[in-house]
Amino acid sequence: MKSMSVLESKTEEEQKSSSDLLRSLFFVPLILLLIFGCGSLALIQPGTVHADARSYMAADYQPWEFTVFKPLDPEIVLEILRDQELFPETFGEPVQFSP
């Protein structure tokens, strides 16, 4: 009678899952080491940034110019009411207009 080794007794699925586990146990610390290594390297000698971030815009608190709009066309209101009847699912709560 042949003695079966531990690896031979495992099914193919168990071997695949253990292989995936070993791969992740290798790559996860490697990726973390890379991330923290890059972060530490960036802190070793941070160069001076010579950027002027001040704003050159001045605040203007004068009143805005008065704009006159045309009155609302009553046909638009009627079209909204028609759309509300034809497509009620697109409107939340019913909108009440008095044309």
Residue 1 has pLDDT above 50, yes or no: no
Residue 96 has pLDDT above 80, yes or no: no
Q: Tens digits of per-residue pLDDT, 60-91? A: 899 988 888 888 888 988 898 888 888 888 87
pLDDT at 32: 93
Tokens 């080794």 -> residue: 5
Q: Tens digits of per-residue pLDDT, 20-59? A: 888 888 898 999 999 999 988 888 877 777 888 888 889 8
Residue 13 has pLDDT above 70, yes or no: yes
Q: Where are the domains of the chain?
A: 10-44, 68-99
CA 63 to CA 69: how far, in whole Å? 18
pLDDT at 36: 93
Asked if 84 and 91 touch (Cβ cutoff 8 Å), the reply is yes
CA 80 to CA 90: how far, in whole Å? 11
pLDDT at 47: 72
